[in-house]
Structure 1
Amino acid sequence: MFATVTYGDNQSFLINLRCGSRNVFEYVNDKLAEEDWEDDTFVELCDEDGQLKYLSYQSPMRMLSDYVKPRSTLIPIKIERDENDSYKPFKPMLKADFKPRFRDRLQRQRDKMEKLRLEREQSELRQERRLESVKEEEKPKEKRSTEGTPAVKRQASGTSRPASKGNFKRS
């Protein structure tokens, strides 16, 4: 079971759908990556309708045959980020006139990935703030004079009841 990856000026190569996602992801990226690409630039594959296959997000050993139809044509999409780590618009690596529906679908998926990235970033910031506040609480506090307080009297007497002030009636 194979699928065809079409790129450039109608150049193509086959990929085996009985391979794990990670192997195919690395193979496609090695084959299509250009030398001047940034480290966080990579290639994803989409079908002819513009639906990304998210190879980089699949379980490494999941077979492509689980989510790619045999004999289908896949189009590589260049995914890169800007200096703020935001996703730039996705670029098909096939020189062709794509239908507006194809481009719209890619744009919606980019928007969704960007939204998830921002949510993850905000979650990480909240987690960092929580850790910082826990560290602040763990710092040694100034010792205050606590003599004469009910808690100290309780500890001194060894009882677990509040210290009596003598102004209540027992029943």
Structure 2
Amino acid sequence: MFITIKHGDNQQFLANINCSFLLLMHYIRDKAELEKTEPIDLCEENGTLKLLFLVKFPEDSASKFLTPRGTYYICRVERGAPGTKHENGYRAFHPVFKHPPLDLIDSLRNQCDFLERSRLKMLRSQDGKKPPTMEALLSSMAGQVVGKSTGKAGVSAASGTDEDGSPRKLTGAAKARMEASRKDKHR
């Protein structure tokens, strides 16, 4: 199971994908004379990125990610400058190919923009979903009266009882505060 890799000035070579993903990437970097630590990806002839730089398990078979007899271009992955707030951002994907077709460049640019927008959207959604701590919730509820839909005071936080006088179920820190409050009353 082989694929064709295009790079440089109309150069190409075959690569066997019946090996680990990590081994294939080392082979590609070696054949294309790229730095061993340089982040790269492969894209199809139409510009569709394979997102190989995001693979979590490099020991997986390369055939899991690539189609036999397919033709791929090598692309450099440009991320933000290290140590800045944009270090994980996607800046560009550059084909390692002289005179790449314009539609390939446009496709890579569009995918880069999409990946960056998706990354930023995910970060914003994570910031907005931080749950308040249990202590913050309990301290904001302490001393408040929670009303029922009828508008009457349903639960008294200070006494720990419902309006009919039956005890309310408490857990954790609220239970400890209630016990401390009772001890203070008996002194």
TM-score, L = length of structure 2: 0.59
Q: 1:8-47 to 2 correspondence within 5 Å? A: 8-25=8-25, 27-28=27-28, 33-34=34-35, 42-47=39-44
Q: 1:12-161 to 2 correspondence within 5 Å? A: 12-25=12-25, 27-28=27-28, 33-34=34-35, 42-57=39-54, 60=57, 61-64=60-63, 67-70=66-69, 72-83=70-81, 84=86, 85-94=88-97, 96-127=98-129, 129-130=130-131, 132-134=132-134, 136-137=136-137, 146=158, 151=163, 153-155=165-167
Distance 2:160 2:91 in 1: 66
Q: CA deviation at 1:153?
A: 3.5
Query: Paired residue for 1:6?
Result: 6
**Taking structure 1 as reference, are residues 33 and 152 closer, same or farther at Cα in structure 2, changes over 3 Å only?**
farther
Contact 2:8–2:96 under 8 Å retained in 1: yes
**Taking structure 1 as reference, are residues 148 and 77 closer, same or farther at Cα in structure 2, changes over 3 Å only?**
closer
Aligned length: 148
Distance 2:110 2:160 in 1: 67
Q: CA RMSD in A?
A: 3.7
Identity %: 26
5+ long unaligned stretches in structure 2: 145-156, 169-187
Alpha-carbon displacement from aligned partner over 1:115-167 (angstroms, at most 9, x marks no partner): 2211221222123x22x4445225697679835975593239xxxxxxxxxxx
Distance 1:13 1:25 in 2: 13
Which has the larger share of strand?
A: 2
The one-letter code of the counterpart of 2:78 is E
**Taking structure 1 as reference, are residues 82 and 135 closer, same or farther at Cα in structure 2, changes over 3 Å only?**
farther
5+ long unaligned stretches in structure 1: 157-171
Distance 2:140 2:158 in 1: 16
Query: Paired residue for 1:163?
Result: none
The one-letter code of the counterpart of 2:3 is A
The one-letter code of the counterpart of 1:19 is C
Secondary structure at the residue paired with 2:165?
A: helix
